[in-house]
Structure 1
Amino acid sequence: MSKTLHHATITPHWSSARGHSDHGWLNTYHSFSFADWYNPNFTSFGALRVLNEDRVKARSGFPTHPHRDFEIFSYILGGELTHSDSVAKRAAADTEEEEESERFCRVRRGDIQFTTAGRGVEHSEFNAGTDPVHFLQIWAVPWKRGLTPRYDWGRYNDADKRKGFVSLLSPLKAGVDATAAEESAAEPAIPGTIAIHADFVMAAGIIEPGGKFEWTAGAKGTEATKRKIYVHLPMTKGGKAKVRLDGREDAILSEGDGAFVDGIHAGDKLVVESVGEAEAEVVVLDTA
């Protein structure tokens, strides 16, 4: 298979180059500079600022702490995570159904939990279960500061992800100048996704060995024609999953690896091929 994106550069970000901390209750890998780990080569990529791959032991988690002026979201790879913040608590309190209230704050395999920190929120993330929880925590820089805090979540099943990439987040359709009513409606550019305040799309797919998916840069839901795509292969199959990008032998990723795809344009097709022994769960982060 030969490469087709001759104008694009693909630069692997090997797992071994990530920051890593094991706190006992938390085992975390940082693809971009975070907390006490700083690498000037890995600070951000477009609007993408943080990509942490976390495992949290049972009956432990992150205590309540503040955030502001970031779009913060967690994608659950295994187990379940109980999320609570100053927005979620109010929303849950307004929910009459106990089951709905629990679902609102607890996210499980395949779910995505999203918070616009905006002018300030406090939140906590706790593993109340008996098994470890494995998830990606991702931060994006919003298109403006001081936004009204907002919480959202979505459930996306594995069956759909085995058919092709499923978009999970896309830009707020009303854009940077959205009215208060449009902010409240939170309509995304791509139906069925969660609206984010950035020129940014997140998608996930599960590719069986020998299979390949195509990702369309910009996903027909973004504005800027010049795109940057970060591809991440989470550590979910004990090292048995691998993918090849754009048919390039120097762009074969193992679990924990990522890749910077630059010089790509909206509408271009990035081919992701599963070349390992196990199915590969691939996360795509498409930004301006």
Structure 2
Amino acid sequence: MSGGTQFALRSSTERGHSDHGWLKTFHSFSFANYSDPKHSEFGSLRVLNEDRVEARTGFGIHSHREFEIFSYIVSGELQHKDSMGNTEVLKRGDLQMTSAGTGIQHSEHAHGDEQVHFLQIWSKPSVANLKPAYFTRHFTDNEKGDRWARVVAPAGEEGVSDARQALGPAPVHSPLSLYATLLSPGRCLSRELSTPALSKAYVHVVQTSGYNPSAASGSTIRVSTPDTQNAVLREGDGLCVTAPDGTTLSVENIGERVAEVLLFELA
């Protein structure tokens, strides 16, 4: 890459958006009936949906293959069932990762009497025809408080367990790491992008203050780099970052409430 860091802001109001009554969803990348050639993927990151599913409703049994699919639970409870025999109720702080590989079927429903708010994330695997596998991890708010919690990391890296349930990040068969933080007002976190030769990052601010298809509100952060790139993000906003290896990315909470921020580091 020639030149320095490049930022591309993805405003929440520009995301694909659908309100089906039982499901209120935003699509950061092309998905289902939403198609945007300018925003179809970023590195190995293919889908980033912010879903709210009403109580006693959900996604019926459907099939997937050749994707790494994970769910990050923000609030409420999500019931997961799949063709591998896994049945589980996921709650705040839980992260579920399904390596669909040669093919799986699963269903996901809001469990209990409350809406479930979660992020559905897909990445493209580096290897085809993998054996399907399922993993869950749990990260407390304290573990994410004003620090980066690494919640997903490439399979085979040191400290990344392939056990169904374990401490540490969930394994993904993609060149992708996912970090999460609950960043207090006035606090700043940095992260050095260390993918060889060329680094990509995607920053997403979770829409924790409530469903809002209009102008973003609530939490506000500033993302910056030493070469003077900077961008202000509000809830629902995303930021594509392309940078030379070793670039330090700083995320500062410039708002008045805690910001829940996801940072994807990509090859």
Q: Give the TM-score of the pair, scaled to structure 2.
A: 0.90
Contiguous gaps of at least 5 residues in structure 2:
211-216
> SS at the partner of 1:251?
strand
Match of 1:209 in 2: 185
Confirm or deny: 8 A CA contact 1:233 1:283 kept in the other structure: yes
The answer to whether residue 123 in structure 2 is matched with residue 140 in structure 1 is yes
Match of 2:224 among 246, 271, 277: 246
The answer to whether residue 68 in structure 2 is matched with residue 121 in structure 1 is no
Match of 2:65 in 1: 68
1:177-256 to 2 correspondence within 5 Å? 186=162, 192-218=168-194, 224-238=196-210, 239-246=217-224, 251-256=231-236
- The offset of 1:160, in angstroms, is 1.4
**Amino acid in structure 1 at the alignment position of 2:209:** K
Cα distance in 2, alignment partners of residues 147 and 249 from structure 1: 39
- The offset of 1:66, in angstroms, is 0.2
Match of 1:55 in 2: 52
The answer to whether residue 40 in structure 2 is matched with residue 80 in structure 1 is no
Match of 2:43 among 38, 43, 46: 46
**Amino acid in structure 2 at the alignment position of 1:69:** E
Give CA-to-partner distance per residue, 1:103-142, whole Å, 9 cap, x none: xx11110110110000000010011211111010000000
**Amino acid in structure 1 at the alignment position of 2:221:** V
The answer to whether residue 26 in structure 2 is matched with residue 29 in structure 1 is yes
Following TM superposition, the consecutive aligned residue runs of length 4 or more in structure 1 with deviations greater than 4 angstroms are 247-250
Change (3 A) 1:278 1:143: same
> SS at the partner of 2:142?
helix
1:255-266 to 2 correspondence within 5 Å? 255-265=235-245
Give CA-to-partner distance per residue, 1:141-197, whole Å, 9 cap, x none: 00021100000000000111113010011111179xxxxxxxxx727xxx7111110
- The offset of 1:250, in angstroms, is 5.3
Match of 1:111 in 2: 94
Confirm or deny: 8 A CA contact 2:56 2:109 kept in the other structure: yes
Cα distance in 1, alignment partners of residues 33 and 153 from structure 2: 30
Cα distance in 1, alignment partners of residues 56 and 99 from structure 2: 26
> SS at the partner of 1:205?
strand
| Alignment RMSD | 2.0
- The offset of 1:33, in angstroms, is 0.2
Confirm or deny: 8 A CA contact 2:6 2:229 kept in the other structure: no
Match of 1:153 among 118, 121, 136: 136
Cα distance in 2, alignment partners of residues 154 and 45 from structure 1: 25
Confirm or deny: 8 A CA contact 2:224 2:230 kept in the other structure: no
- The offset of 1:39, in angstroms, is 0.5
Cα distance in 1, alignment partners of residues 168 and 247 from structure 2: 22
Confirm or deny: 8 A CA contact 1:199 1:224 kept in the other structure: no
Instruction: Using the aligned pairs only, state the percent identity.
Output: 41
- The offset of 1:243, in angstroms, is 0.4
The answer to whether residue 255 in structure 2 is matched with residue 283 in structure 1 is no
Cα distance in 1, alignment partners of residues 25 and 140 from structure 2: 25
**Amino acid in structure 2 at the alignment position of 1:279:** V
Q: Give the TM-score of the pair, scaled to structure 1.
A: 0.83
- The offset of 1:7, in angstroms, is 2.0
Contiguous gaps of at least 5 residues in structure 1:
1-5, 93-104, 176-184
> SS at the partner of 1:7?
coil
- The offset of 1:225, in angstroms, is 3.9
Greater fraction helix: 1
Cα distance in 1, alignment partners of residues 208 and 236 from structure 2: 9
